[in-house]
Structure 1
Amino acid sequence: MHSEFELIARYLAPAPAPAAAGVALGVGDDCALLAPSAGEHLAVSVDTSVAGVHFPADAPPEAVGHRALAVSLSDLAAMGARGRWCLMSLTLPAADDAWVAAFAEGFHALCEACGVSLAGGDVTRGELAVGVTVMGEVPPSEALTRAGARPGDWLAVTGALGGGAGGLQRWQAGERDLDDPLIRRYLRPRPRLAAGLALRGLAGAAIDISDGLLADLGHLREASGVGAELWPERLPLAEGLVDALGEARARQLALGGGDDYELLVSLPPERLDEARARLAALALPLTVIGRVTAVPGVTGVEPTGVSGWQHFPGDTP
């Protein structure tokens, strides 16, 4: 059995980052030393993924590593930030070399694909959980926020919806085919970093769809002080969702299931064509699903029975 320091050195410490990565001192000291680009704002977000809450306890470790990083990078995408660095804390019930090696493979592969450097972290003993802090850069005047939606804007989403929640249902029903399109969307979500960059200067407001479309639209509406009209018949549904669960359930999950990690944006009408063209260059569709209104609340949808994820729902409606 290896100690936490041996696990870090063997599996989690990446190769020394090149100077271009902005890591003056990385894994192995008390702190990482980072060199942000001059004139850029630093965008920082943290997420914790807990076994049995955010991912199945029996999920493949490679997928756990990928997913833990992806859900954090999705926050950078929603801000229009370019990913630069991350920190990762891993809590393990036991020092399982094979599990950690596969976990690290998934984590490092997504780091490389997204141009993000792992700059430090921690390994501890306890119930399985992964904490990831991501850091990115964005020019001061170009950050996308939740507060810029205006009445008359279109509401649009990238990609397709419902696949994350549909994949979780498939897994809970005993499906273990990692090539199933729904399970793939749940266990290996794709953070829309390139889309966030492409939408700079066009989107009025943006948020990533992690807790469910209606729930995250609620956060955007509250921050912007607006209402919304949705057109559920226009929701882009994930591949295989209707075949697996039927159209009615598919639309419920698209509205409230969560775990999609697509971007929901508001767009002034005159910017829609340019936004679609930029995302088309990324082979990513952008679908208008409604519009921003001046009247508080949401119209156009019936109660779905799927309210979006909350850890501590309490009595809040």
Structure 2
Amino acid sequence: MVVVIGFEGSANKIGVGIIQDGVVLSNPRRTYITPPGQGFLPRDTAKHHQGCVLQVLKEALDQAKLNPNDIDAVAYTKGPGMGAPLVSTALVARTVAQLWNKPIIGVNHCIGHIEMGRLITGSDNPTVLYVSGGNTQVIAYSQRRYRIFGETIDIAVGNCLDRFARVLKLSNDPSPGYNIEQMAKKGTKYFELPYTVKGMDVSFSGLLSYIEERVPQILKKGEYSPEDLCFSLQETVFAMLVEITERAMAHCGSQEVLIVGGVGCNERLQEMMGKMAEERGATLFATDMRFCIDNGAMIAQAGWEMFKSGQITPLEETWCTQRYRTDEVEVTWR
């Protein structure tokens, strides 16, 4: 019986989760929410995390009904992510590991999402679409690595949605992407947008600039409503993502597709991906907001896998990196 506690703080969520042999014992988190029209800055986000991480840690232990003696290892997000939040979270994990005298494991954030998705959905060897505020990748496992088959060549899909939400001055509570999703459900007219797929890669920055520049005049003319624009943006970017995912599935001969990351709980994306999977005779796996959005349990789960396979991070190597590629990690547990 192995119990691992995980600390996640790579962006605007601070989460602490505890996993015991594939069972989520606790997974509390807090979100740093900024006023409408504003993004979150690294320094302010780190201050938020520092202000509530000990309370979240206490909640995680209380909900799991455990004390430090019951924990076998401490896992934390090594990267990728925003520098200041990553460092402030790693500092807490390092301190806890030394105070409790436990081994520590640095986890790749993307692999945390994949392992959590595999655990919760029961998918075996899926082609993975990883979509969040900072990352957009199509991934498949091969020869002890999670290989990247395609990705964004500029900004992530979540960043594209977030920045468009700022243009429309949508609330950041609970998240800009969620509020775009709700507005898109009321949209009926499609406004044609640039569709940029380059081989296996996608590009969102040109599309974002195109719609941002035109928003004032579009709304002034009254031809399209803000709901129509949200609908059009979602339909376009999700179609791009489904296209490159299908191509990766065809290449790998895969019959499973798994969506992970914060944007992965979007019901329209799941619906579009589900139709593609159905046409291919494949199965779609997806999770809800508890596990799609950044959380501590996903870091604990990846840490659990690493710990069981003998991977431990020496204390002097428990640094963070904003750029940490998914395919840099040797997957010793599969």
Q: TM-score, normalised by structure 2?
A: 0.29
Higher helix share: 2
TM-score under structure 1 length normalisation: 0.30
Q: Which has the higher contact order (CA 8 A, sep 6+)?
A: 2
